[in-house]
Amino acid sequence: MVNVQESPKVKREVLEVSSEIMSEAGQFLRRNGFIEILPVIISPITDPLNHSVLDASINYYDGQYSLTKSMIFHKQLAVRVFPKIFTFSPNIRLETEDKKSTGRHLIEFTQLDLEVKDAKRDDILTLVENLFVEVFKDLDKKFGKIIRSTNPHFSIPKIPFERVRYLEALEKYGSDFEAILSKQATEPFWLIDIPIEEREFYDRLDGDGKVLADMDLIYPYGFGEAISGGEREHEYEKILYRMSLKGNDQKSLKWYLDEVKKGIPPSAGCGIGIERLTRFVCNLRHVSEARLFAKVPGSLSI
Amino acid sequence: MVNVQESPKVKREVLEVSSEIMSEAGQFLRRNGFIEILPVIISPITDPLNHSVLDASINYYDGQYSLTKSMIFHKQLAVRVFPKIFTFSPNIRLETEDKKSTGRHLIEFTQLDLEVKDAKRDDILTLVENLFVEVFKDLDKKFGKIIRSTNPHFSIPKIPFERVRYLEALEKYGSDFEAILSKQATEPFWLIDIPIEEREFYDRLDGDGKVLADMDLIYPYGFGEAISGGEREHEYEKILYRMSLKGNDQKSLKWYLDEVKKGIPPSAGCGIGIERLTRFVCNLRHVSEARLFAKVPGSLSI
């Protein structure tokens, strides 16, 4: 028997907010010199992620295409052609059903995925902070009254956002620090310098050899993780070393490694979950209320 | 041995044009009361199409998800919540390798897919004509010089576009009429009243019971098909009848039929291929030059 998930009722106003987020975020990036590239849904290579999900691949002629878990590798290749790119990238991550009640997991979601050639992590932090301010100002102007009727906390975020070092937070609050800090907070904040064992091989290792030049953005009021990103490894030998630490299979990333050998530029970037941002703005219980045709882990839905 | 396709070199200017097309087309639709919804990449239901392609489906728990060939059914459901919607929808159609040299087929492409509740075909024709004029005017202003350096025919299309009846064209020019007319033309034109055997079950059957209230847009200078669309069947009994004519399996569309039973509104809409539009504007030999990470039928590429 197939476990069938009824589509939750999505409010018209929530769809309007989501649409406006995409419009304003895209236009903000264009004003800042970015171009939009088309998303990639199937490829012989995809993000190995730092946690395991069920396989999502299809056969084509004598080969195999994986469904995109994130566009990380394609973004690294795209900045060879244009230095500032973004895309609204639909990602498939076949999460297991234990993730169905986290409030923030869907097996299909859309990331506003951006990458900047030669950028440092701090450039991305500043860019995203300004993007948030512009998007929230725009939402306030167009939908402020409606949003405040269901979200009493709605406000323009104050920049710069606070920066919290991962290891310091871990020491102070224990392993549940992210949830604790998210609940205490009233403003979004950055979690930076995430240790090597918590992230994928492609986040750039910082000078000390233990933490990465990367970050998560965490929403306040318990809404949790919003964004992941960082500087990227771009040198062949370092990438091989980092893959070996993680146990990533070189064969499955051969297409990527061949391109790295030809040369890819240093870059930094991040992915912003559109459904999670919509959920945060509209103060929704579950991210499935933030889009039409939401797919909750563990069951099939339309 | 996997047949490997080297990614064609995509020019930076072509990417900029493609990005601008998405921006201006999206903003035109927003100015006309549309909202953008998020794309759907996997679903138990997808477009059966009118020609066969290789299977693209994945297993998840006890069920199966198909990769989206078009968002037709989801658009019909979405207009229950908001009357004018669009999305940049990545579609996967695992075409066979005989399609590799048509110049206009990729197995992964993006459609600007739009749908309007209670609309007639003529409403969509007028909307799209105005969208084309606005997009071309915008491109001319921002990239006119660059575009004209490789496309001597670039001009703002004159509206209204000519409307050619499918059966009349077939009678006059024979079965190859579409290619012949596309080569002769110097302006985009509509092919309307496409007969029932040429299209999917969901295009609405017109009064005479033989032709459909639907259309294709055809580019001039031999660039061929640009857009498909039409009014949709929305009544349960008529949909079942049309599916029986086509031999469509009711079981595979059960999720859709269950929603139709609950009621879906009349609507009309279309899908505009972004890569094909970019190819036409930039006068490119093959649609694979119109995007990064292009996937040509019959081989694997990154």
Which of B41, B44, B275 minimises the CB distance to A90?
A: B41
Distance from the Cα of B85 to chain A's closest Cα (Å) equals 10
- Partners of residue A30 in chain B, C-beta under 8 Å: 19, 23
Q: Under an 8 A CB cutoff, do A61 and B1 touch?
A: no
- Does A84 contact chain B (CB < 8 Å)? no
Residues 227-256 of B with CB under 8 A from A: 255-256
Q: Say if B260 is an interface residue toward chain A (CB within 8 Å).
A: no
Chain A residues with CB inside 8 Å of B2's CB? Answer: 61-63
Peptide bond between residue B160 and the one before it cis (omega within 30 degrees of 0): yes
> Which of A18, A38, A293 is nearest residue B74 as measured by Cβ atoms?
A293
Task: Please name each of the domains of chain A with its CATH number.
Answer: 3-159+230-300 (3.30.930.10)
Put simply, whether B286 touches A (Cβ < 8 Å) is no
**pLDDT for the residue numbered B191:** 98
Spatial CB neighbours of B45, under 8 Å, sequence gap ≥ 6: A302, B66, B73, B252, B253, B255, B256
Residues of chain A with pLDDT under 70: 1-8
> What residues pair up with B92 in beta bridges, in sequence order?
B108
B262 touches chain A (CB under 8 A): no
pLDDT tens-digit readout, A52-90: 899 899 999 989 999 999 999 999 999 999 999 999 999
CB contact under 8 A, B58 and A60: no
> What does the alpha-carbon distance between residue A71 and residue B41 come to, in Å, rounded to a whole number?
15
Asked if A43 is an interface residue toward chain B (Cβ–Cβ < 8 A), one would say yes
Q: Which ranges of B32-165 does DSSP label H, i.e. alpha helix?
A: 72-78, 121-150
The reply to whether B123 touches chain A by the CB within 8 Å rule is no
* Residues of chain A with C-beta less than 8 angstroms from the C-beta of B302: 43-45, 74, 77, 255-256, 259
* Per-residue pLDDT tens over the stretch B190-216: 999 999 999 999 999 987 788 999 999
- Which residue do the tokens 């006119």 mark? B144
Neighbours of B152 (CB within 10 A): 9
Nearest CA-CA distance, residue A231 and chain B, Å: 22
Strand locations in A61-107 (E): 63-67, 84-92
Q: Omega into A160 within 30° of 0, i.e. cis?
A: yes
B12 vs A39, A81, A274: nearest CB: A81
Q: Measure the CA–CA gap between B108 and A65, rounded to whole angstroms.
A: 11
Residues of B in contact with A16 (CB under 8 A): 35, 82
Q: Residue B81: name the closest of A8, A10, A250, A183 by CA.
A: A10
A140 part of contact set with chain B, CB < 8 Å: no
Q: What is the pLDDT of residue A1?
A: 44
Q: Assess B126–A contact: CB distance below 8 Å, yes or no.
A: no
CA distance B44 to A66: 18
Q: Does B92 touch chain A (CB under 8 A)?
A: yes
Cα–chain center distance at A248: 21
**Alpha-helical runs (H) found in chain B:** 12-31, 72-78, 121-150, 166-173, 177-184, 236-246, 254-262, 274-282
Contacts of B287 (CB under 8 A, 6+ apart): B103, B104, B105, B106, B109, B275, B276, B279, B294
pLDDT, residue B7, reads 63
Element (H, E) at A96: none
DSSP string, B133-187: HHHHHHHHHHHHHHHHHH-TT--PPPSSPEEEEHHHHHHHH-TTHHHHHHHH-SS
CA-nearest residue to A78 within chain B is B292
Nearest C-alpha neighbor of A302 from the set B116, B115, B48, B254: B254
Reading the block at residue B153, the tokens are 């025919």
Reduced to 3 states (helix: H, G, I; strand: E, B; else coil), residue A300 is strand
What does the angle CA B198 – CA B200 – CA A66 come to, to the nearest 5 degrees? 115
Coil/strand/helix, residue B99: helix
Nearest CA in chain A to B62: A2
Quick check: A40 and B293 CB within 8 A?
yes
Strands B162-165 and B189-192, sheet pairing:
parallel
Q: Which residue has the tokens 């459609």?
A: B111
pTM of the model: 0.96
- Reported as a single tens digit per residue, the pLDDT across A201-249 is 999 998 778 899 999 999 999 999 999 999 999 999 999 999 999 999 9
Distance between CA B49 and CA B221 in Å, rounded?
A: 27
Pairing of strands A84-92, A35-36: parallel
Q: B215 Cβ partners below 8 Å, 6+ apart?
A: B121, B124, B125, B190, B191, B192, B194, B227, B228, B229, B230, B270
Residue B248 to residue A133: CA distance in whole angstroms: 50
pLDDT tens for the 302 residues of chain B, in order: 455 566 667 899 999 999 999 999 999 999 999 999 999 999 999 999 988 899 899 999 989 999 999 999 999 999 999 999 999 999 999 999 999 999 999 999 999 999 999 999 999 999 999 999 999 999 999 999 999 999 999 999 999 999 999 999 999 999 999 999 999 999 999 999 999 999 999 999 987 788 999 999 999 999 999 999 999 999 999 999 999 999 999 999 999 999 999 999 999 999 999 999 999 999 999 999 999 999 999 999 99
d(CA A85, CA A78) in angstroms, rounded, equals 7
Chain A residue with Cα closest to B53: A60
Q: Over the stretch B248-270, which tens digit does the pLDDT of each residue have?
A: 999 999 999 999 999 999 999 99
In B177-206, the residues whose Cβ lies within 8 Å of chain A are none
A133 in contact with chain B, both atoms CB, cutoff 8 A: no
